[in-house]
Homo-oligomer: A and B are copies of this chain.
Amino acid sequence: MTNEKVSGLIDRYMKVSFYVNKMGELLIKDQICDVLTNEQYYTLRFIEQQRLCTSTEISDAFYINKSAVTSNINRLEGKGLIEREQDLDDRRVFHLKLSKEGEGLLQETENKIHNLVERIMTKFEYEEIVKFLDTYEKLSQIFIQMKNGEQEEI
Contacts and interface: CB of A to CB of B under 8 A. Distances in A.
A137 B144 CA distance: 23
Interface stretch (A5-13, A52-60, A70-78, A92-100): A5-13
The number of times this chain is found in the oligomer is 2
A149 B121 CA distance: 17
B144 A135 contact: no
Contacts of A21: 17, 21
Nearest to A22: B63
23 contacts: A1-B121, A6-B114, A9-B117, A9-B133, A12-B137, A13-B117, A13-B133, A16-B140, A17-B21, A20-B140, A23-B144, A23-B146, A23-B147, A26-B63, A26-B147, A27-B143, A30-B150, A119-B146, A120-B146, A124-B138, A131-B131, A132-B132, A132-B136
